[in-house]
């Protein structure tokens, strides 16, 4: 008997041995059907051996090796194993979690589409076929123009299945390997000097691993640069992987790819796709039949046999980090993949994360700069700061903003009001002197927990009572920042009874959002009120005014990454104003108009501001100057979550060298689906040390039984 070692998606950190009658080395990477307890599961064969550590009579025989698709390649297994080690996730969760859901199901896969071409015999037969054999003629006529896949044929030819079968038997058509000839690239612009230089730099490394940061303001032509690089990659007979934060809501992106690469075989991959469609597209890409793979974070796991280039657009976007299950960062895995495949990787951003910027500045990534707007007509919007100490807010809106709104309504232009209701835990601030509650231990801001009347630091666990008055000026009017925006919509409706108002936020579910966005695009809305969802890549021709209502909540948020995120958001959201012929204006309401962030925003100087932030991070001892992980716990009460973490800390392995475990703290999102969530941050200046420590701690914790749900989060971006 042969022993196969199988990864299963169960929360156990090991492989499971099964017997097989017919497994060979060639089955490594194949899916396999096994019994596990009283369930039937799909697993993945990771090793084939002659012997198990368990006695033969304790081993079950696997039900069947699924050979319906080619086994996953070795480098893919290596990627998933790396993921499991790095992110402290069970091997099975990492391997199976990286597959599209349809491949983890027990039911057999639908037949994958094949491509057909007409033969010489088919051409002759077509001449002689009587006109009444309509469908048969249609099939041959279609294929005479170009080879085509079965899915497309099904749409063109009635009863295509039977006719394909029949024509195959007669030798009129033949199955064809999926097309891999490079598609054409439509040149749209003459590149400017900076663009050409950036392309030249990457092209000099096209056949080996190199990481680049493509840094340029919105509209500087970054997309154009990577489109050209993709064209070069395809011409060399290779495939390109493009990761973007969001596709489903930005149909213009797919349209752009299709327009610039006509006839291209484009593989889309995102969670909004149907399961069948997703697996189909996954299989085509992994069999080398797609030129371009365009997807969200989960696309980083598609096996790509002829990978030639990876692009990560808007690399700073937090959606690249998966926040549940396997907590990977697709951006970081993209770098791993590029190194593994020995190809260049390009991180693109106008406002890169400080981690990336720091790596670029210390020479690990090469910086390619685009400093000018690529297109004359793409004017920068004028940004105005509205000092809300002088212009008092009513229900979150200032007088100058209301005036601007009225003007747009008169001119029949659209306005966008942007408010971040979520994502920022409430921080206490004094309305009089501007004091903000800060943690005395670690220089992040304390979060208000009204129910417990406590301020707490989500980073180091420090706790204090909510003060009755401002400690600096004695003012008793201290309130959580970012409050008072809830009634914005009704206030706007009251002020402008005739305006057509659309509100879009994460509560407006999937499909619904698409409809709403369509309403805005077609001009059937005047005022659009939305959250961060709207910052990403939407293009509304008639929006000429953007109002940012509560930017300060991001300025002084509890999370030390909040300022860089706020800057990125403000820049993205400003990019929404005046993209087309109409010039745009941005109004940012703030109590702190002199804050360095706003000054940098007005001067378009992200790098300068980021430099200051990096200095602060260094002094405070935050990433990228240290490495972080978090141990997260969820329980029915906060007490049990916290006490689990305390106990876990006492079980932590002794560690030589520099390693800090902070106190447990409630998470920003303290309650989710009825469970209370807490976390404990771990820091070390040495990555290998942190990894070794987590690994051994993980083993200890796994051996202990508990009713608390817990997991590690390596390189956490939310606290
Ligand atoms: P980014 O990705 O940096 O925001 P894009 O690549 O989308 O910028 O370019 C912004 C606009 O400028 C687009 O409309 C694009 O078609 C145009 N554009 C890009 N490069 C050039 C160029 N070399 N000449 C003229 N227009 C350009
Ligand atoms: Zn005060
Ligand atoms: Zn602290």
pLDDT tens, residue by residue, 442-463: 878 888 877 778 888 888 889 9
How confident is the model over 283-312, as a mean pLDDT? 94
How confident is the model over 343-356, as a mean pLDDT? 97
Of all protein residues, the one whose alpha carbon is nearest to atom 10 of ligand 1 is 219
Residue ranges around ligand 1 (CB below 6 Å): 189-192, 195, 216, 218-224, 374-375, 378
How confident is the model over 251-266, as a mean pLDDT? 87
DSSP states of 116-183: EEE-HHHHHHHHHS-TT-HHHHHHHHHHHHS-EEHHHHHHHSTTHHHHHHHHHHHTSEEEEPPP-SPP
Taking only Cα atoms into account, the Rg of the chain, rounded to an integer number of angstroms, comes to 28
Ligand nearest to the CA of 371: 1
Q: Beta partners for 370?
A: 216
Q: Is the pLDDT of residue 179 over 60?
A: no
How confident is the model over 329-341, as a mean pLDDT? 98
Residues 6+ apart with CB under 8 A from 507: none
What is the per-residue pLDDT for 22? 92
Residue 262: Cβ within 10 Å count = 10
What is the per-residue pLDDT for 447? 84
How confident is the model over 668-672, as a mean pLDDT? 70
Distance, in Å, from the CA atom of 517 to the CA atom of 522, rounded to the nearest integer, reads 9
Q: Is the pLDDT of residue 114 over 90?
A: no
Tokens of 456: 């707490």
What is the per-residue pLDDT for 578? 61
CA distances from 608 to 218, 359, 367, 612 (A): 17, 16, 15, 7
Q: How far is the CA of 277 from the centre of ligand 3 (A)?
A: 47
Task: Say if residues 485 and 419 touch (Cβ distance below 8 Å).
Answer: yes
Task: Say if residues 171 and 121 touch (Cβ distance below 8 Å).
Answer: yes
Task: Say if residues 345 and 208 touch (Cβ distance below 8 Å).
Answer: no
Confidence tier at 511 by pLDDT (50, 70, 90): low
Using the atom order of ligand 1, give the atom closest to the CA of residue 216: 3
Say if strands 115-118 and 148-149 run parallel, antiparallel, or are unpaired: antiparallel
Percentage of the chain exceeding pLDDT 70:
93
Task: Say if residues 475 and 493 touch (Cβ distance below 8 Å).
Answer: no
Tokens of 667: 């998470």
CA distances from 161 to 109, 111, 142 (A): 18, 12, 15
Task: Say if residues 431 and 478 touch (Cβ distance below 8 Å).
Answer: yes
Q: Is the pLDDT of residue 6 over 80?
A: yes
pLDDT digits (tens, 9 = 90+) for 150-168: 777 888 888 888 999 999 9
Q: Is the pLDDT of residue 669 over 80?
A: no
Cis peptide before 112 (omega within 30 of 0): no
What is the per-residue pLDDT for 584? 85
Percentage of the chain exceeding pLDDT 90:
58
Helix (H, G, I), strand (E, B) or coil at 194: helix
What is the per-residue pLDDT for 580? 58
Using the atom order of ligand 1, give the atom closest to the CA of residue 225: 6
CA distances from 354 to 121, 243, 300, 565, 607 (A): 63, 19, 22, 10, 10
Confidence tier at 328 by pLDDT (50, 70, 90): very high
- Pocket test of ligand 1: the residue of 374, 572, 573 to mutate, having most ligand atoms within 8 Å of its CB, is 374
Q: Tell me the CB-side half-sphere exposure of residue 74, using CA atoms within 13 A.
A: 5
Distance of CA 500 to the CA centre of its chain: 32
Q: Is the pLDDT of residue 13 over 90?
A: no
Q: How many helices (H) and strands (E) would you count in the chain?
A: 21, 31
Distance, in Å, from the CA atom of 47 to the CA atom of 81, rounded to the nearest integer, reads 13
Distance, in Å, from the CA atom of 582 to the CA atom of 47, rounded to the nearest integer, reads 61
Using the atom order of ligand 1, give the atom closest to the CA of residue 188: 16
Q: How far is the CA of 561 from the centre of ligand 2 (A)?
A: 25
Distance, in Å, from the CA atom of 64 to the CA atom of 30, rounded to the nearest integer, reads 11
What is the per-residue pLDDT for 515? 77
pLDDT digits (tens, 9 = 90+) for 591-637: 899 999 999 999 989 999 999 999 999 999 999 999 999 999 999 99
What is the per-residue pLDDT for 485? 57
Whole-number mean pLDDT of the chain? 89
Confidence tier at 538 by pLDDT (50, 70, 90): low
- Pocket test of ligand 1: the residue of 223, 253, 573 to mutate, having most ligand atoms within 8 Å of its CB, is 223
Say if strands 585-590 and 709-714 run parallel, antiparallel, or are unpaired: unpaired
Angle in degrees, 0-180, between the axes of helices 160-170 and 120-128, rounded to the nearest 10? 110
Angle in degrees, 0-180, between the axes of helices 562-574 and 606-620, rounded to the nearest 10? 170
Lowest mean pLDDT among 130-139, 245-254, 389-398, 689-698: 245-254
H/E element holding 691?
helix 687-703
Ligand nearest to the CA of 461: 3
Q: How far is the CA of 469 from the centre of ligand 2 (A)?
A: 8
Residue listed under structure tokens 């657009």: 313
Q: How far is the CA of 588 from the centre of ligand 3 (A)?
A: 29
Confidence tier at 508 by pLDDT (50, 70, 90): low
Q: How far is the CA of 449 from the centre of ligand 1 (A)?
A: 46
Using the atom order of ligand 1, give the atom closest to the CA of residue 192: 23
Q: Is the pLDDT of residue 422 over 60?
A: no
Q: Is the pLDDT of residue 368 over 60?
A: yes
Q: How far is the CA of 221 from the centre of ligand 1 (A)?
A: 4
CA distances from 296 to 331, 557, 579 (A): 10, 27, 25
How confident is the model over 231-244, as a mean pLDDT? 95
Q: Which residue has the higher pLDDT, 19 or 488?
A: 19
Q: Is the pLDDT of residue 514 over 80?
A: no
Tokens of 526: 């005047």
Which DSSP symbol is given to 487? T
Using the atom order of ligand 1, give the atom closest to the CA of residue 218: 4
Q: How far is the CA of 592 from the centre of ligand 2 (A)?
A: 14
What is the per-residue pLDDT for 154? 83
- Pocket test of ligand 1: the residue of 187, 191, 214, 221 to mutate, having most ligand atoms within 8 Å of its CB, is 221
Q: How far is the CA of 251 from the centre of ligand 1 (A)?
A: 18
Distance, in Å, from the CA atom of 535 to the CA atom of 538, rounded to the nearest integer, reads 7
How confident is the model over 142-155, as a mean pLDDT? 81
Q: Tell me the CB-side half-sphere exposure of residue 194, using CA atoms within 13 A.
A: 16
Tokens of 666: 């409630």
Q: Is the pLDDT of residue 535 over 70?
A: no
Report residues near ion ligand 3: CB below 5 Å.
Answer: 439, 441-442, 457, 459-460, 462
Of all protein residues, the one whose alpha carbon is nearest to atom 11 of ligand 1 is 219
Task: Say if residues 521 and 552 touch (Cβ distance below 8 Å).
Answer: no
How confident is the model over 507-523, as a mean pLDDT? 71
pLDDT digits (tens, 9 = 90+) for 32-56: 999 999 999 999 999 999 989 988 8
Residues 6+ apart with CB under 8 A from 294: 242, 244, 247, 253, 254, 257, 266, 267, 268, 269
How confident is the model over 1-14, as a mean pLDDT? 92
Q: Is the pLDDT of residue 17 over 90?
A: yes
């Amino acid at each position: 008997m042969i022993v196969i070692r199988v990864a299963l998606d169960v929360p156990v950190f090991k492989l499971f041995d099964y017997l097989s009658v017919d497994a060979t080395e060639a089955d490594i990477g194949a899916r396999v059907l096994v019994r596990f307890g009283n369930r039937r599961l799909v697993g993945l064969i990771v090793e084939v051996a002659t012997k198990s550590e368990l006695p033969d009579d304790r081993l079950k025989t696997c039900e069947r090796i699924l050979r319906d698709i080619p086994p996953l390649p070795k480098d893919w297994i290596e990627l998933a194993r790396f993921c499991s080690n790095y992110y402290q996730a069970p091997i099975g969760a990492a391997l199976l979690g990286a597959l599209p859901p349809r491949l983890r199901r027990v039911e057999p896969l639908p037949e994958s589409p094949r491509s057909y071409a007409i033969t010489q015999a088919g051409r002759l037969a077509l001449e002689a076929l009587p006109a009444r054999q309509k469908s048969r003629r249609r099939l041959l006529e279609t294929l005479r123009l170009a080879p085509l896949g079965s899915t497309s044929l099904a749409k063109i030819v009635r009863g295509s299945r039977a006719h394909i079968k029949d024509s195959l038997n007669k030798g009129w058509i033949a199955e064809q390997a999926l097309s891999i000839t490079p598609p054409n690239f439509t040149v749209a612009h003459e590149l400017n000097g900076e663009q050409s230089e950036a392309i030249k730099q990457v092209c000099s490394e096209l056949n080996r691993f190199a990481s680049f940061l493509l840094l340029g303001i919105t509209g500087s032509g970054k997309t154009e640069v990577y489109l050209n690089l993709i064209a070069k990659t395809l011409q060399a007979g290779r495939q390109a992987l493009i990761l973007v934060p969001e596709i489903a809501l930005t149909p213009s992106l797919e349209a752009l790819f299709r327009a610039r690469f006509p006839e291209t075989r484009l593989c889309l991959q995102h969670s909004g796709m149907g399961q069948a469609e997703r697996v189909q597209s996954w299989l085509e890409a992994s069999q080398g039949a797609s030129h371009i793979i365009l997807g969200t974070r989960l696309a980083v796991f598609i096996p790509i046999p002829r990978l030639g280039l990876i692009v990560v657009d808007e690399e700073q976007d937090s959606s690249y980090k998966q926040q549940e299950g396997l907590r990977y960062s697709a951006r970081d895995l993209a770098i791993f993949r590029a190194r593994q495949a020995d190809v260049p990787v390009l991180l693109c951003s106008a406002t890169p994360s400080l981690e990336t910027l720091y790596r670029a500045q210390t020479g690990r990534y090469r910086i390619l700069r685009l400093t000018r707007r690529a297109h004359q007509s793409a004017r920068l919007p004028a940004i105005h700061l509205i000092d809300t100490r002088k212009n008092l807010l009513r229900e979150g809106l200032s007088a100058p903003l209301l005036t601007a709104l009225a003007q747009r309504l008169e001119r029949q232009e659209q306005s966008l009001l942007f408010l971040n209701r979520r994502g920022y835990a409430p921080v206490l601030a004094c309305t009089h002197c501007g004091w903000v509650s800060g943690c005395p231990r670690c220089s992040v801001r304390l979060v208000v927990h009204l129910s417990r009347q406590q301020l707490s630091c989500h980073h180091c666990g420090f706790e204090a009572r909510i003060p009755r008055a401002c400690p600096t000026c004695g003012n008793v009017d201290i309130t959580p920042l970012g409050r008072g925006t809830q009634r914005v919509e009704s206030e706007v409706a009251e002020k402008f009874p005739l305006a057509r108002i659309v509100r879009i936020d994460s509560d407006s579910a999937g499909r619904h959002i698409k409809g709403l966005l369509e309403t805005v695009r077609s001009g059937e809305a005047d005022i659009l009120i939305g959250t961060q969802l709207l910052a990403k890549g939407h293009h509304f021709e008639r929006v000429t005014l953007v109002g940012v209502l509560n930017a300060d909540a991001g300025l002084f948020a509890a999370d030390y990454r909040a300022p860089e995120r706020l800057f990125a958001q403000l820049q993205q959201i400003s990019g929404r104003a005046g993209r087309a012929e109409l010039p745009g204006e941005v109004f940012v309401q703030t109590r702190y108009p002199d804050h360095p962030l706003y000054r940098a925003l007005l001067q378009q100087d992200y790098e300068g501001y980021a430099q200051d932030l990096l200095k602060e991070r260094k002094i405070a001892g935050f990433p990228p100057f240290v490495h972080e992980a978090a141990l997260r716990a969820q329980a029915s009460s906060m007490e049990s979550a916290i006490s689990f973490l305390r106990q876990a800390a006492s079980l932590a392995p002794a560690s030589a060298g520099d390693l800090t475990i902070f106190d447990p703290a409630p998470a920003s999102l303290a309650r989710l689906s009825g469970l209370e969530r807490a976390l404990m941050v771990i820091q070390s200046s040495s990555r290998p040390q942190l990894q070794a420590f987590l690994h051994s701690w993980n083993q200890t914790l796994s051996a202990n039984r508990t009713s608390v749900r817990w997991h590690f989060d390596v390189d956490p971006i939310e606290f």
